[in-house]
Amino acid sequence: MIGLLGKKTGMTRIFDENGNIIPVSIIEAGPCPVTQIKSKEKDGYDAIQVGFDERRLKSTNKPLRGHLDKSKISPTRILAEFRNFDKKDLSPGSTLKVDLFGEGDTINVQGISKGKGFQGVVKRHGFGGGSVTHGQSDRLRAPGSIGASSYPSRVFKGQKMAGRMGGAIVTVRNLKVIKVEKETNLIYVKGAIPGHINGYVKLIKK
């Protein structure tokens, strides 16, 4: 599984050779230093750990600083693992760049969705709301009945109700890579990706 860490920089549109508009998300992907290589014999599974986006040394706690010092890498803001990565030419301290991806590749993008705060069932779950006729003047965005009176006389676990919305890990699958700029470490993917601008994302090549 080939992957990189990146940062969402925004959205724009580009035109193909026929003049058709293609909406794209722009991601600053890498460079990502390899901070650790895990093996089945030592760690129980094969994976590589990479970092992204440098952080100040004074803002880094001692355990993380010691972990990165083993690979002689500057402190990074985030770490992530990619399993079953072809690591024959990699070692701690190696750098992965955006050239892992090419135009036409299909990737999955994983990030944390925008937090919407506490929301009702209409916005959170797409409920239709109640009727405003027959004297129901305050039930337009209400959830309606959430249980039953005689049986089971309780609310089922997992019942869709109002609550905190967003701020969850979301994976958007099968996004097409439209353009790769190796000089600026930018990758353009068709469609929208989760998260706010400058939010961190994980790019996984299928």
Per residue in 102-136, pLDDT (tens digit) is 888 899 999 999 999 999 999 999 998 888 788 88
- Do the Cβ atoms of 1 and 203 come closer than 8 Å? no
Q: Indicate if 26 and 85 belong to the same structural domain.
A: yes
Cis peptide before 92 (omega within 30 of 0): no
Q: Indicate if 42 and 54 belong to the same structural domain.
A: yes
| pLDDT digit string, tens, across residues 30-86 | 799 998 888 888 888 888 899 998 888 888 888 888 888 888 888 889 999 988 777
Report residue 110 as tokens. 């994983």
Q: Indicate if 83 and 155 belong to the same structural domain.
A: no
Q: Given this model, what pLDDT does residue 132 score?
A: 79
Closest CA to 99 of 193, 161, 177: 177
Examine the pLDDT at 10 and tell me if it is beyond 70. yes
Measure Cα distances from 163 to 124, 143, 169 in Å: 8, 12, 17
- Do the Cβ atoms of 115 and 19 come closer than 8 Å? no
Report residue 136 as tokens. 């129901």
CA distance 17 to 4: 29
Q: Indicate if 65 and 153 belong to the same structural domain.
A: no
Query: Domain holding 32: CATH number?
Result: 2.40.30.10
Q: Indicate if 139 and 156 belong to the same structural domain.
A: yes
Q: Indicate if 33 and 98 belong to the same structural domain.
A: yes
Confidence of residue 174 (pLDDT cuts 50, 70, 90): very high
Q: Indicate if 111 and 198 belong to the same structural domain.
A: yes
Q: Indicate if 92 and 23 belong to the same structural domain.
A: yes
Q: Indicate if 90 and 122 belong to the same structural domain.
A: no
Percent of the chain with pLDDT over 70: 99
Q: Indicate if 81 and 161 belong to the same structural domain.
A: no
Q: Given this model, what pLDDT does residue 1 score?
A: 67
- Do the Cβ atoms of 9 and 173 come closer than 8 Å? no
Establish how many alpha carbons lie within 13 A of residue 183's alpha carbon, considering only the half-sphere containing its beta carbon: 0
CA distance 159 to 142: 14
Which residue would you say has higher pLDDT here, 163 or 90? 163
Q: Indicate if 60 and 134 belong to the same structural domain.
A: no
- Domain tally for the chain? 2
Q: Identify the domain containing residue 29 by its residue range.
A: 2-117+171-205
Q: Indicate if 147 and 45 belong to the same structural domain.
A: no
Confidence of residue 146 (pLDDT cuts 50, 70, 90): confident
